[in-house]
Structure 1
Amino acid sequence: MSDESSGKAPVAELLMLIGGEFRKSFDGGWIDVENPTNEETVYRVPQGGAEDARLALQAAEAARSEWAAMPAVERGRLLVSFAGKIRENRERLAGMLTAEQGKTYELALGEVDVSADFIEFAAHGARRLEGDILPSDNPDEHIWIHKVPYGVCVGIAAWNFPLALACRKLGPALTAGNVMVIKPPSETPAAVMALGQLALEAGLPAGVLNLVTGGGSTMGTELVTNPITRLVTMTGSTATGQRIFGMCADNLTAVRLELGGKAPFILLEDGDVDKAVEAAMVSRYLNCGQVCTCSERFYIHDAVHDEFVRKFVDASAKLKLGDPMDPETDLGPKVNRHELERMEAMVSRAIEQGCTLALGGKRPEGPAYGKGYWYEPTILTGATNEMEVMREEVFGVVSPIMRIGSFEEAIRLANDSDYGLSAFLFTRDMRKIQRAVLELEFGEIYVNRAMGEQRQGFHNGHKLSGTGGEDGKYGLENYLEKKTFYVNFGD
């Protein structure tokens, strides 16, 4: 039955952008993009393969020299125009994000705003691309450290914030004089693919930004291993990042990885319980808990444990699940069935291992939830650090809570993890805050506040949470490599 005869709106088809032209894949295949709210297909994108990837890389390589030679301020002006086009299409892009990923429309609007900010912030730094002049040990000589773009960069974005993650990469990469091929996730590619037309309208030259879709084992492998590629920047799971890191070895391709996290949320006996609960509501439930920096495991001091649990349960029980386009909705669905079933299984095993279910622990009932991938906010008490739910990333609305007795215990347990992306600490004691600066093994630490990094900061992970980093001046530096000139001007 066709979409027209069934009464459903026709499914929009979004094409790849390669060398300034919109294209289907060489084999003509398509990827269906599902709305996790109702399980209906809402978009189709090309099922590209290795040949499509090579074509995109060749188009980027053809545009590389001219783009790099353009004055940085001119590149910046074009990127500011691109950010403006994103803002002009704010509502349309937000609607696409909600339809393909299930996030609330309000959050989707915020993602579009952040996406434009990422590009604009980087573009405004075009005049601040700096090198160094150093004194030489020799007479009549200077040492110049000149910073240059890598060339062709490949950007691979995760499905939870696809538009923001793509723009977070392309803004600094293009500002620095690189050209890019971006592969959005197959689960949520639509809003990223919509950037293609906006980039052309903003005046970006053909080949500077290329957008392709396809599987990781075919297109993704070609993008990462092709010798044209000089830098790969990827946001996603640790397992995928490790595979990419290995595949880049043969060509010694530069790698920037932002991977999984298992953020500890530490509330000490002198912390503000109400502020901690307020922060936990954001840092656990934003985007249905599908954020790499979300609070994933809770270490609550025995003196305030019961009060925190009671207030956290009460606040969580009031959250409304439902249509993400409804402004009163707090939580949409999980992104797909696999993610839902994985989270369900982790909760079941946690209860078998001794956790007590304080809230949720199941899919909601009722006709509104007959289709889609819904799960109630879930709080588990009595957790221990050996449990899977305290060690492996849940990436959902599940909060395992463990009692602690001291700051030292909290630090030890928090660091007892393969991950080191983000952490949360609530205390009024500046001595403990200063100690945490030195002792917590995480790249991004929030003290007495909810998560949420800023453009001028630096977002990076330690241990298995990644290598490289993004945002601010240090993020821009990641898209530049160095040339050293020993300039002798003597007779």
Structure 2
Amino acid sequence: MIIKKQYIDGEWVDSISNKTREIINPFNQEVIATVPESDESDTQKAIAAARNAFDNGTWATTPATERGQIVSKIADLIERDKEELAELESLDTGKTVEESRGDMDDIAGVFRYYAQIADKDGGEIIDSPIPNSISKVVKEPVGVCGQITPWNYPLLQASWKLAPALVTGNTLIMKPSEITPLTSVKVFELMEEAGVPAGVVNLVLGAGNTVGAELSTNLDVDLISFTGGIETGKKIMQAASVNVKKIALELGGKNPNVVFADADFEIAVDQAMNAVFFHAGQICSAGTRLIVEESIHDEFVSALVKRVNNIKMGSGFDEDTQMGPLISQEHLTKVANYVEAGIKEGATVATGAKRPEAAELQKGFFYSPTVLTNCTTDMKVVQNEGFGPVITVEKFQTEEEAMKLANDSIYGLAGGVWSKDIAKAERCVAKMRMGTVWINDFNLYFPHAPWGGFKQSGIGRELGKLGLEEYQETKHVFHNLKPEAINWF
């Protein structure tokens, strides 16, 4: 069994209370690790360390090039330990190890991207209306950052927060999900190995209602970055108001995938599956709302169901596995109830909507890939984020109707449009109220492009230069080179 500690002020420590939590493998419910279960006291200790490191340490004033070199070394170490990290991620989350290997490549890429741009924006000189003066804009770190990451992509989401915070000179306290902390612990080991000074990065393991709440309300925290559910995000917004913290929130989505009759049929069917069933649909950007033009609806659903019925479920460590389990019994129950509610609302089960029957899957938190048809936007199953392997199918007749359906949501994270008509696709993109829209693709992202949502999908952006700016304050400096008395008084 793996036994891990948390990282505070450059030391690996147990919780102050000595409480622990068991980490469960969602494939077979075996205990795979024991980690500290911390509370407000541990969090306050970590915040104090980060505050001292920022106010009295050298990290914030270290040249950006040097900070970038350390972050680049972190990327090197992630690549070195890629296989170990991938195995830990799959043990923790249940996803296939092949998916996890791909995640590690992306994670290393995020650290390397921010390392490369760390010293590329030193501010700017702007025109001054006053003779003999200099007016300039400089960028400075925000300060102490609280970072709360989700269970579905533990290390990937951590990298989106860690890398930009570090290269801009901030200090931080990270709280990973209490049920998937193992790769976060490992990457903090790598950050220590890379030479990040004590107190700059701190890892506290515990629940959201203790550790997360303290990060949100503590007056010594200057920024809170959270990825997770919308209700928790609202609570964090309220809590952060105590000292008007900067906030960055990514709160999920209910993402439309619009398929026109003139799309490449086979590719659109394939991508409709890829949009949802990776990691058993536990993806904030999953294209769970499939919106298909009526003239091809029946044929499209038939082809989709045929492919869905061939999805191989199993252990993430089996090479043949295409989809692993859900994260927990609690989440399995939630997904099952979500589907049952949709059926009661009038949705038709095209396939799935049940636990799989295979004996080897009974110990795991598996749910069959599900397609629900005859769905309409007034259904909760269409409006609410289910976060499971479930596709709802709606139909439309006109471009205007398609866009009305696509935008009929409180969310606005991502969406897709499938059409060979370039002009039509671009018209749709202009109308879709989402932070990311793909044309003839789905779920593609990379470090250079910003990520975040419209409406209740969140505030702020991660990745790209905008992701860097979330961790910076902008300061205007005016320098009078020839001061004179005004003699007003």
> How would you bin the TM-score normalised by the shorter chain?
over 0.9
Which whole-Å CA distance do the structure 1 matches of 2:288 and 2:440 have between them? 17
1:339 counterpart SS class: helix
After the TM superposition, which of the residue ranges 18-27 and 120-129 deviates more from structure 2? 120-129
Q: Are residue 264 (structure 1) and residue 256 (structure 2) matched? A: yes
Written as runs of structure 1 = structure 2, the 5 A alignment for 1:35-74 is: 35-64=25-54, 65-74=57-66
**1:291 has 2:283 as partner:** yes
Question: Unaligned regions of 5+ residues in structure 1, if any?
Answer: 1-10
1:426 aligns with 2:414: no
Is it true that 1:467 corresponds to 2:485 in the alignment?
Answer: no
* 1:386 equivalent in alignment to 2:378: yes
Q: Which amino acid aligns with 2:345?
A: Q
CA displacement, residues 443-464 of structure 1 (integer Å, 9 cap, x when unaligned): 0111101212111101010111
SS at match of 2:34: strand
The Cα of 1:429 is off from its aligned counterpart by: 2.0
Check whether the contact 2:272–2:290 (CA below 8 A) recurs between aligned residues. no
In the other structure, the counterpart of 2:209 is 217
- Counterpart of 2:23? 33
Shift of 1:418: 0.4
Contact kept in structure 2, 1:14 and 1:194, CA below 8 Å? no
- Correspondence 1:72-471 to 2 at 5 A: 72-471=64-463
- 1:438 is displaced (CA, Å) by 2.3
Structure 1 residue 282: Cα displacement: 1.1
Q: Is residue 2:9 matched to residue 1:19?
A: yes
Q: Which 5+ residue runs of structure 2 have no aligned equivalent?
A: 484-489
CA distance in structure 2 between the partners assigned to 1:328 and 1:90 by the alignment? 21
Preserved contact between residue 135 and residue 141 of structure 1 (Cα < 8 Å): no
Tell me if structure 2 keeps the 8 A contact 1:183–1:211: yes
Contact 1:182/1:210, CA 8 A, preserved across alignment: yes
2:295 counterpart SS class: coil
Deviations 1:375-414 (A, max 9, x none): 1111111111111110000111111101111110111111
TM-score by length of 2: 0.97
Give the aligned partner of residue 487 of structure 2.
none
- Aligned mates of 2:193, 2:470 — CA distance in 1: 28
Amino acid in structure 2 at the alignment position of 1:378: T
Give the deviation of 1:490 after TM superposition: 2.6
In the alignment, which residue of structure 1 is the partner of 2:486? none
Cα distance in 1, alignment partners of residues 187 and 80 from structure 2: 12
1:5 corresponds to which residue? none
Question: How far has the Cα of 1:304 moved from its partner?
Answer: 1.3
Q: Which amino acid aligns with 1:12?
A: I
Q: Say which is worse superposed, 424-433 or 292-301, in terms of deviation.
A: 424-433
- Secondary structure at 2:112's aligned position in 1? helix
Farther off after superposition, 193-202 or 255-264: 193-202
Indicate which of 450, 473, 484 corresponds to 1:481: 473
Is the contact made by 2:90 and 2:96 (CA closer than 8 Å) also made in structure 1? yes
Within 1, Cα distance between the matches of 2:340 and 2:206? 34
Which SS does the other structure have where 1:358 is aligned?
A: strand
SS in structure 1 opposite 2:402?
Answer: helix
Question: For 2:63 and 2:12, how far apart are their aligned partners in 1?
Answer: 28
SS in 1 for 2:395: strand
Could you tell me how far apart the structure 2 residues matched to 1:234 and 1:130 are?
27
Q: Distance in 1 between matches of 2:151 and 2:41?
A: 24
SS of the residue corresponding to residue 451 of structure 1 reads coil
How far is 1:432 from its partner?
2.0
Which has the larger displacement, 325-334 or 308-317?
308-317
| Aligned residue-pair number | 481
Contact 1:24 1:46 in 2 (8 A): yes
SS of 1:68 mapped into structure 2: coil
Deviation of the 1:140 alpha carbon = 2.1
Q: Is the 8 A contact 2:60 2:169 kept in 1?
A: yes
Contact 2:276 2:391 in 1 (8 A): yes
- Percent of aligned pairs with the same amino acid: 36
How far, CA to CA, are the matches of 2:105 and 2:199 in structure 1?
A: 25
The AA in structure 2 aligned to 1:156 is: I
Q: Deviations over 1:252-305 (max 9, x none)?
A: 000001111000010112222212112112111111111100002111001111
Distance 1:395 1:456 in 2: 26
In structure 2, how many angstroms separate the alpha carbons of the residues matched to 1:405 and 1:151?
A: 52
Distance, in Å, in 2 between the alignment partners of 1:488 and 1:308 is 69
- Asked if the contact 1:270–1:429 (Cα under 8 Å) also holds between the matched residues in 2, the reply is yes
| Counterpart AA for 1:53 | T
Residue 32 of structure 1 and its aligned partner are, at CA, apart by 1.2
Instruction: Provide the C-alpha distance between the structure 2 equivalents of 1:311 and 1:26, rounded to a whole number of angstroms.
Output: 56
Distance 1:410 1:142 in 2: 53
Aligned to 1:39, the other structure's residue is in SS state: coil
The offset of 1:166, in angstroms, is 0.7
